[in-house]
């Protein structure tokens, strides 16, 4: 509708003789046709410019049993301590819809909803980290365990934390199998967190989730990154697709509740998330390190 408002504003500013011409039926029809074509072209070009997508790696409507694309490893891992049998030598990205059920995804999403109901960012992106206790509140973060104390026991249940652990274990096994490494060599690392994204305008840099980045550069501890989607693209939200950025041939993953997307964390998997245009997108980022010194424990029910 923004494009239509631009076109109508230009028409309103037109000289009177042009406005009189606009009132002639045949010119009005031609003008409307041209406006619609222009609008369609502008919309097409703006969408194309935003995502540059050449290939959909996984569509929301399909059930992907397991899809894996191997890509050459970057040199990012060379500047960190190597752990033989874990540090990526085989790099790539994968998607599966058969590890986490949609029912489990719904239950996990309810944990995120309960936690985020205690706060939420003023901008479009809110974070809940059950490990550190970090929770977006306004333009800042609080530690929900300290901030809310014993009230937390009325928000979450022991079953919530048990399900969280089980889902983490399933994702860990999936990554280990895909990359041919031992699951025991992978250590859950921080930050591992829930995200809730809507179309609200960004208020701080923390809300600007759409910038392209490399996880290994942003978080040195990351070796393998995974995302478990907890809502459905084009049903629960618009925009918000995950984009692996490659010159002239971006690959996109359309979120689907229960879908796990995973990849090696180096610059071979430069990526970003499209801006969410409507609705609410829920996901959980679960990250693993090969370095046991960077390991964190599963969250425990307070």
- Give the residue numbers spanning the domain of 43: 18-48
Six-digit token string for 73: 């490893």
Residues 131 and 201 in one domain: yes
- When pLDDT is cut at 50, 70 and 90, the band that residue 16 belongs to is very low
- Strand segments, DSSP code E, in 88-236 are 91-96, 120-121, 125-128, 134-138, 140-143, 187-197, 224-229
Buried b (16+ CB within 10 A) or exposed e, 264-301: bbbbbbbbbbbbbeebbbbbbbbbbbbbeebebeebee
- When pLDDT is cut at 50, 70 and 90, the band that residue 52 belongs to is low
- Whether residue 9 lies inside any domain: the answer is no
Residues 100 and 27 in one domain: no
* % of the chain residues with pLDDT over 90: 79
- Whether residue 1 lies inside any domain: the answer is no
**pLDDT (average), residues 219-227:** 97
- Whether residue 6 lies inside any domain: the answer is no
Residues 59 and 135 in one domain: yes
Q: What is the pLDDT of residue 247?
A: 83
Residues 237 and 289 in one domain: yes
Indicate whether 51 pLDDT > 70: no
Helices (H) and strands (E) in the chain, counts: 8, 16
- Whether residue 302 lies inside any domain: the answer is no
Please name the helix (run of DSSP H) or strand (run of DSSP E) that holds residue 239, with its range, or none.
strand 237-239
Residues 160 and 286 in one domain: yes
Residues 184 and 285 in one domain: yes
Indicate whether 2 pLDDT > 90: no
Residues 82 and 25 in one domain: no
Residues 222 and 145 in one domain: yes
- When pLDDT is cut at 50, 70 and 90, the band that residue 22 belongs to is very low
Using alpha carbons only, give the angle 235, 238, 240 rounded to the nearest 5 degrees.
115
Q: What is the pLDDT of residues 161-190, one digit of tens each?
A: 999 999 999 999 999 999 999 999 999 999
- When pLDDT is cut at 50, 70 and 90, the band that residue 206 belongs to is confident
Q: What is the pLDDT of residues 65-102, one digit of tens each?
A: 999 999 999 999 999 999 999 999 999 999 999 999 99
Q: Indicate which residue of 93, 168, 241, 281 is catalytic.
A: 281
* % of the chain residues with pLDDT over 70: 82
Residues 73 and 24 in one domain: no
Q: What is the pLDDT of residue 243?
A: 97
- Whether residue 3 lies inside any domain: the answer is no
- When pLDDT is cut at 50, 70 and 90, the band that residue 233 belongs to is very high
- Show Cβ contacts of residue 5 under 8 Å, excluding neighbours closer than 6 positions: none
Calculate the average pLDDT of the chain: 86
Indicate whether 64 pLDDT > 70: yes
**Number of compact structural domains in the chain:** 2
Residues 171 and 37 in one domain: no
Q: What is the pLDDT of residue 302?
A: 85
Looking at residue 183, which CATH number applies to its domain?
2.60.120.620
Residues 87 and 70 in one domain: yes
**Euclidean distance between CA atoms 162 and 298, whole angstroms:** 9
CA dihedral for 209, 244, 266, 174, sign (positive or negative): positive
Please name the helix (run of DSSP H) or strand (run of DSSP E) that holds residue 284, with its range, or none.
strand 281-289
Does 16 participate in catalysis according to the annotation?
no
Residues 153 and 280 in one domain: yes
Indicate whether 41 pLDDT > 90: no
């Amino acid at each position: 509708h923004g494009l239509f408002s631009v076109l109508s504003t230009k028409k309103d500013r037109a000289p009177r003789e042009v406005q009189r011409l606009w009132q002639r039926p045949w010119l009005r029809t031609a003008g409307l046709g041209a406006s619609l074509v222009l609008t369609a072209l502008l919309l097409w070009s703006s969408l194309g410019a935003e995502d540059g997508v050449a290939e959909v790696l996984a569509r929301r409507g399909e059930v992907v049993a397991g899809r894996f694309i191997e890509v050459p490893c970057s040199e990012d891992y060379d500047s960190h301590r190597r752990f033989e049998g874990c540090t990526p030598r085989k790099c790539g990205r994968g998607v599966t819809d058969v590890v986490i059920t949609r029912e489990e995804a719904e239950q996990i999403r309810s944990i995120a909803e309960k936690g985020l109901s205690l706060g939420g960012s003023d901008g479009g992106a809110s974070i809940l980290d059950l490990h550190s206790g970090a929770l977006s509140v306004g333009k800042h973060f609080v530690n929900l365990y300290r901030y809310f104390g014993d009230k937390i026991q009325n928000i979450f249940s022991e079953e919530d934390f048990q399900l969280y652990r089980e889902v983490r274990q399933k994702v860990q096994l999936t990554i280990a199998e895909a990359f041919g490494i031992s699951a025991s060599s992978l250590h859950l690392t921080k930050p591992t967190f829930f995200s809730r994204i809507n179309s609200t305008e960004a208020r701080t840099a923390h809300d600007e989730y759409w910038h392209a980045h490399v996880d290994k550069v942003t978080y040195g501890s990351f070796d393998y990154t995974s995302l478990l989607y907890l809502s459905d693209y084009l049903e629960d939200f618009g925009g918000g697709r995950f984009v692996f950025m490659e010159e002239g041939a971006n690959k996109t993953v359309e979120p689907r509740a229960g879908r796990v997307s995973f990849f090696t964390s180096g610059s071979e998997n430069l990526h970003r998330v499209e801006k969410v245009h409507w609705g609410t997108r829920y996901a959980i980022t679960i990250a693993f390190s090969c370095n046991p010194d960077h390991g964190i424990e599963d969250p425990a029910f307070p």
